[in-house]
Structures are given as C-alpha cells and as structure tokens.
A and B are shown apart, each in its own frame.
Chain A
C-alpha cells in the first residue's frame, strides 16, 4: 500500500518568515495530494490540494508543488502569522477508492 513520509516533524519560524514542509510518497499510482491543518482539539481541515497533472498550485499565502518523477510534494507558507501555528498533514490518494494515506504530521510554531 501507499506510504507517505513527512519532514520535519517540528518547525519553528518567526512571524513573517516562510515555512516549508516536505513529503514523499511511495505509490506511483497516487494521483491526488491534499494538505490538512489540524488545530488543537479539532479535526483536520483541508487547506490546499493538488492533482497529479499539475506541478504547482497557489492560494494566497500557501502554495503546493509536486514532483511526480521524484514522488515528492511540498507545502510552502509565506509571510507566516501566529494563527498559522498548528499541525500540518500531507496525504495521498491512490486510484479511485478515495482512501487517504496521511503523513506523520509537522507541528508548526510561529513565534512573534
């Protein structure tokens, strides 16, 4: 089955700096890669996603890039703000079953 690795496990940045989280996947048949943000005591919430036929997608301060050849994808957050502090998960879906395989998560802390 699919295996998703995520790095780093923790990330601390100063407000206004950029943050980058990287993930790799194992199954070349994976074709959809969402990113979720999980705040304390809440369920994960989708923040951005990318399909396998797209190399990059941007939504305001967040962007995701995908390298299918290398089987890795990354989340970029620019101009970080304290409210960006949370745990971020990458995930991958293989085929048509809509089964999400999650990475292990990155705890992002944005300091003032």
Chain B
C-alpha cells in the first residue's frame, strides 16, 4: 500500500514570498490533516478535512495560510506571504473515516526555510 505522498520535500524562499505544498493521502482515506512541526517541537494541527469539507481550522493563521481539498482527495496548503516564523516542517496525514481509534498515517513532510 502506498503511503502519504508530499511534495516538494524541501523549499527555500524569501520572506513575503508565496509557497504551496501538495499532499496525496492514502487511497480511500477520507480524513486529511495538515500539521506544522517547528524544530524541536511536536506537530501542531493546522487544519483537518473530512472528504472535501473542513472539520477544524481553528489553529490555521487564516490571514496568510489557506488550504483546500478539491474532490476530497489531494490537498494543497498555501502560505502567502511567508514570514520567518513559518520555517518548519509541514506534515500531511490521513486516516480512514470509520472508527474512532484509527491510526493517522503521516507523510515525510516538506521542510520550509524562510530567509
């Protein structure tokens, strides 16, 4: 079974530039998450989708971050404009919709460096 795919793996941009990350979840997984992992910290949830609807975006900085999941499969996370403090690894995860205790499967992440 293929895992969660993310691209690009690395991105370096100047502050105030824009950047986009792409995630392809495991086939059949209805729930998709984006996490931000700052160096030395645990992942922090940014947004959760169920199919193509947003379940939780309470910690998404909506003035600069946006995310979409068209057709309930792939998802894109965008930052516009980027700030220095956005430097982090952005992780995508997915899980099946059935059952409460189902494992979240994580992708390898995109490491963003904002200069």
Contacts and interface: CB of A to CB of B under 8 A. Distances in A.
A32 B106 contact: no
Interface in B68-109: 91, 93, 95, 100-104, 106-109
Nearest to B48: A99
Q: Is the interface of A mostly helix, strand, loop or mixed?
A: strand
Interface in A24-83: 32, 34, 36, 41-46, 49, 51
Nearest to B101: A32
A44 B43 contact: yes
B4 A32 contact: no
A7 to B, nearest CB: 13
A6 B42 CA distance: 10
A20 to B, nearest CB: 18
Contacts of B24: none
B56 interface: yes
B62 interface: no
Interface residues of B, number: 23
B107 A43 contact: yes
Contacts, number: 55
B54 interface: no
A4 to B, nearest CB: 8
Given A43-B108, A99-B48, A99-B56, A105 B103 contact: no
Interface residues of A, number: 25
Interface string A90-112: 01000011111111110000000
A95 B48 CA distance: 15
B93 A105 contact: no
Interface of B: 4, 31, 40-45, 48, 55-56, 91, 93, 95, 100-104, 106-109
The 6 closest A-B pairs by CB, nearest first: A102-B42, A43-B106, A46-B103, A44-B106, A89-B42, A102-B43
Interface of A: 4, 6, 32, 34, 36, 41-46, 49, 51, 89, 91, 96-105
